[in-house]
Amino acid sequence: MMFSTTLKSALFGLGALAITASGALADDLADIKAAGKIVAATEMHYAPFDMLENGNYVGFDRDLFDEIAKEMGVAPVYEDLPWTSILPGLEVKKFDFVLAPVTMTAERADRYSFTLPIADATVTFVQRKGGKMTKPEDAKGLTVGVQKGTAQQKQLDAYSAKIGGFTIKEYGTNDEAYADLMTGRLDAVAGSAPLLNYLAKKRPDDFAVVNPPFGTPTYFGYVARKGEGDTLVAAVNDALKKIEADGRMKTLQEKWFGAATALPQMMPKL
C-alpha cells in the first residue's frame, strides 16, 4: 500500500509538472520575450493600414505596431501574406501575431484572442466620381465588388438581401476591385470606411464615397492565438492604452486617416 501510494503521488507529480511545462511552452508572450522579437503577419495591400511603397512596408499598422513593439521591448518582424492565408497561418503557428486589421465579430472572438480596437471598421460603398449612387440603397440592381473572405463581404451579403438584391463579385485584393471599378466592370466597391475615405482622399478625381455607411458599427482589432496568446494580447492592450493616453494614437490617426477617432478603451460587445 505504501508503494502504491508513493507511486501514485509520483505519477501525479509528473503529470502536474507536464501540465506546468506545457502551459509554459504555450505562453506566446514568454516565447516572444525570450526570442526578443515578434513576427507579425499582414497583407500589405490594404491602404492606408498596410502598403508597399518602393518595396518598403508603410502604413498605419506599421507605425502603430512599431510603437507597440517598442513598449513591449521586442523587435517587430513583418511578413506580407495574402489575407486568406493569414488567420489559418496563425492557427498553425507560422507567426506570432496578426497585424492585419481584423474586423471584430463574435464568431471570430470564439476562435481568436482580439486586442482592443485599433480603428473603425464600419462598411460603406465607394464608386467612380459622378457614379449612379447617391445613397447606399441605390446599390439595388447594380454590380458591387468586395474582398473575398472578409467580414465586409458578410455584411454586404446581408445588405443585398435587405434591399432587394445586387450582384456581388469577389476579389483577392481591394486593389483588384478598385481597378475593375475604374474600368466600369463594377458600379461600386464595398469596404471599411477608413479604407474608402483614404482612397477617395488620395484620388478625388476618380473615386467618391457613398454616405452614410450601411454596415453595423464595427471595429478592427489585431489577433493572437486564443489561450496561449492571451498574455500577448494583454501586453499589446497595455501598450495601446499608453499610446492612446500620450497622444501617439491621435497623431497616427490624423496622419493616415485625416482625422482622429475616439476608440473604446474596453472590449466592445460583439
Using DSSP bridges, classify how beta strands 97-103 and 37-42 pair: parallel, antiparallel or unpaired. Answer: parallel
Range of the domain at 231: 25-120+219-257
Q: Are residues 128 and 204 in the same domain?
A: yes
Q: What is the pLDDT of residue 7?
A: 38
From 82, 49, 78, 80, select the one nearest 176 (Cα to Cα): 82
Q: Are residues 225 and 97 in the same domain?
A: yes
Q: Are residues 64 and 192 in the same domain?
A: no
Per-residue pLDDT of the chain (270 residues; tens, 9 = 90+): 333 444 344 434 444 443 444 444 579 999 999 999 999 999 998 889 999 999 999 999 999 999 999 999 999 999 999 999 999 999 999 999 999 999 999 999 999 999 999 999 889 999 999 999 999 999 999 999 999 988 899 999 999 999 999 999 999 989 999 999 999 999 999 999 888 989 998 999 999 999 999 988 899 999 999 999 999 999 999 999 999 999 999 999 999 988 788 899 899 988
Q: How many domains does one find in the chain?
A: 2
Strand order, beta sheet including 123-128: 167-171, 143-147, 188-192, 123-128, 207-210
Q: Are residues 226 and 246 in the same domain?
A: yes
Q: Whole-angstrom Cα distance, residue 38 to residue 28? A: 10
Q: Does residue 160 belong to any structural domain of this protein?
A: yes
Q: Are residues 113 and 37 in the same domain?
A: yes
Q: Are residues 201 and 224 in the same domain?
A: no
Q: Does residue 268 belong to any structural domain of this protein?
A: no
Q: Are residues 145 and 197 in the same domain?
A: yes
Q: Are residues 111 and 167 in the same domain?
A: no
Q: Does residue 140 belong to any structural domain of this protein?
A: yes
Q: Give the CATH number of the domain where residue 174 resides.
A: 3.40.190.10
Q: Are residues 131 and 103 in the same domain?
A: no
Q: Are residues 105 and 227 in the same domain?
A: yes
